[in-house]
Amino acid sequence: MFLSAVIVYLVALMVVGSWKSRQVHTADDFLIANRALPARVLVFTLLATWIGSGSLFAGAGLGYRVGFPALWQSAGAWVGIALVYFIAPRVRRLAQYTVPDILELRYGPTARLLGALTTVMAYTTIAAYQFRAGGTLLELVAGIEPATGALMTAAFCVTYTALAGMLSIAYLDVGNGLMMVVGVVLAVAFLVTDGGGLATTLSSLQPEHVALFGELSPQAALALFFPTLFLLLGEANMYQKFFSAKSERAARLAVVGWIVGTIVVETLIDSVGVFGSVVVPGLSTEGSESIVISVALQILPTWIGVLLVCGAAAIIVSTANSFLLTPATNLMRDVYQRFVNPKVADQQVLVYTRLFVVALGFVGYVIGSFFPSILAMALWAYTMYGAGITPALLGALVWPRIPRSAGVWSILAGMTTTLVWEIIGLRRGVDGVPEYPLGLETVYPALTLSILALVVVGLAARPSATDFPVPS
């Protein structure tokens, strides 16, 4: 029943994606939907892209283990989206294609190349754990071996993304977004009702599961908060979708709906994990990351369980699609077209971008096995991007005449510190659990050094001769 529902849903996605592919005639159609997305479509594609396996598996699993303090990770996104409201129109006004486009406008070609490299590393990792989550989903609903399920997920997502690019992703995310919202709303409503009401359900939890920090220390809570915040503030998919908006007003309106949807859906997903700790007790750390699917299969009425499982499939597919398209766009536009073949024909851009999607899908599938958990993959990728890109990007948008060298050194500091700190932590760790130098999670040194490099070099070096070139 569950597998059949997932298959039917995915086939429907593929059919609509194939139909949308007929509307793709230019690179602009494929990469930015010809800058024609209305606010109502932007809301759902932003929501469906952001709510991925990091929320569905890692977030809910953390909620299962520590309770509502797990929302510290989600809160970083909420604050980030609120801040994004003020920069969304300015980003749309730039009318670019990628975040490295913005970095080069301010900091020069070296920043563009470094930005593309950082984005490809981080976003391919995020796509990789969507594949891994898909493997887990197929294992639970159909008994398929996880590695095989991950390969099947990767193959589907690569094919789907390559069909019509942003056009298929954006419009299909309307359905994906609705599916995930309906699934989690009904699941939480059933768990609360079956538990005797909200007050009774909350009283059945351990006291620390409804505290501000609970089992988490403030340092650990902020180590969840900051990577998510800084990933969100510089999130390349978000910027690419703002570039796809039909107007500045559409971009800003979409942010309002996005923050409301994100707060509701992430809180509900974590609630499934928290309440699931009562009805499905005793799961291991690894097993807890599958709590949403376990609740769907074991606890919920079949029809609600089917909706929740299809919602889970929608979450995985929609996020994987966007996190494949963005790095493929980076490789095509920010590396090949910018430095190798500036005169590449429009149809070649389409073909090569699709080939990059395939290549990144293969790489993502391979690297998915190198991390101990989905949460570990999420935090690594969030920190790599949040420390490597976001400070320089925000500096480009808000610091008048910031020196070129400031952005370059900021990206280098954030990227290299993340790599070095993670490697040291993993080499010193036991059973895949990293042991970081000085007991500091990677986000603290990486983000600190990135911001310091931006500020110190920005103040010491000669300001740029011109301000940021924003079209009127």
Can you give the pTM of this predicted structure?
A: 0.87
Return d(Cα 264, Cα 276) in angstroms, integer.
18
User: pLDDT value at position 53?
Assistant: 81
Confidence (pLDDT) at 392: 96
pLDDT in tens, the chain (472 residues): 888 999 998 888 888 878 877 777 787 777 777 788 898 889 988 898 888 888 888 899 999 999 999 999 999 999 999 998 888 887 777 767 788 988 998 999 999 999 999 999 999 999 998 999 999 999 999 999 999 999 999 999 999 888 767 777 777 788 888 888 899 999 999 999 999 999 999 999 999 999 999 999 999 999 999 999 998 998 888 888 888 888 888 888 999 999 999 999 999 999 999 999 999 999 998 889 899 999 999 999 999 999 999 989 988 988 898 889 889 999 999 999 999 999 999 889 889 999 999 999 999 999 887 777 777 888 889 899 999 999 999 998 888 889 999 999 999 999 999 999 988 987 887 766 778 898 899 999 999 999 999 999 999 988 876 665 544 4
Residue 472 to residue 452: CA distance in whole angstroms: 32
Say how far apart CA 414 and CA 362 lie, in whole Å.
26
Domain boundaries, the chain: 2-373
Which pLDDT score is estimated for 408? 97
- The CATH fold of domain 2-373: Sodium/glucose cotransporter (1.20.1730)
Cα–Cα distance measured from residue 70 to residue 376, given in angstroms and rounded to the nearest whole number:
14
Separation between Cα atoms, residue 11 and residue 307, nearest integer Å? 16
- Cα radius of gyration rounded to whole Å, the chain: 21
Three-class HEC string of the chain: CHHHHHHHHHHHHHHHHHHHHCCCCCHHHHHHHHHCECHHHHHHHHHHHHCCHHHHHHHHHHHHHHCHHHHHHHHHHHHHHHHHCCCHHHHHHHCCCCHHHHHHHHHCHHHHHHHHHHHHHHHHHHHHHHHHHHHHHHHHHHCCCHHHHHHHHHHHHHHHHHHHCHHHHHHHHHHHHHHHHHHHHHHHHHHHHHCCCHHHHHHCCCHHHHCCCCCCCHHHHHHHHHHHHHHHHHCHHHHHHHHHECCHHHHHHHHHHHHHHHHHHHHHHHHHHHHHHHHCCCCCHHHHCCHHHHHHHHCCCHHHHHHHHHHHHHHHHHHHHHHHHHHHHHHHHHHHHHHHCCCCCHHHHHHHHHHHHHHHHHHHHHHHHHCCCHHHHHHHHHHHHHHHCHHHHHHHHHCCCCCHHHHHHHHHHHHHHHHHHHHHHHHHCECCECCCHHHCCCHHHHHHHHHHHHHHHHHHCCCCCCCCCCCC
Residue 25 token pair? 């005639």
